[in-house]
Amino acid sequence: MPGDAESAEARLDCRGLAQQYEGNRDAAAKIEGVIAGNRGHNQAVTYVGGVLFLPLLLAIKPDSDAKKTLDQLQAQRDRIDRLAKAKGCPKG
């Protein structure tokens, strides 16, 4: 894919790619935990705000930045996968 060869990951060997992948996966798991934690809060605020007090809806915690970061991490994982395949790295 265009851009893969110019990426920082392209300079890594198989071991480095595997380490990057693991770090990426750990970061994504942390962000997913934050989003999941906000879900219960947001559901409760939406219910109470919708039924009793509409201004309470302003207390919803938006996850747009977290979701954008997850999209970026997924794109990086896809790039790492492509580079690992191109370099003949073993599946891990």
Considering the domain boundaries, does residue 1 fall inside one? no
Asked if 82 and 4 touch (Cβ cutoff 8 Å), the reply is yes
Considering the domain boundaries, does residue 23 fall inside one? yes
Considering the domain boundaries, does residue 61 fall inside one? yes
Considering the domain boundaries, does residue 53 fall inside one? yes
Considering the domain boundaries, does residue 34 fall inside one? yes
Q: pLDDT at position 25, please?
A: 92
Whole-number average pLDDT of the chain: 79
Considering the domain boundaries, does residue 19 fall inside one? yes
Considering the domain boundaries, does residue 2 fall inside one? no
Domain count, the chain: 1
| Residues 21-59: tens digit of each pLDDT | 999 999 999 888 877 776 666 566 565 555 455 555 455
Considering the domain boundaries, does residue 92 fall inside one? no
Residue 90 pLDDT greater than 60, yes or no: yes
Q: pLDDT at position 91, please?
A: 80
Residue-number span of the structural domain to which 30 is assigned:
8-86
Global pTM value: 0.66
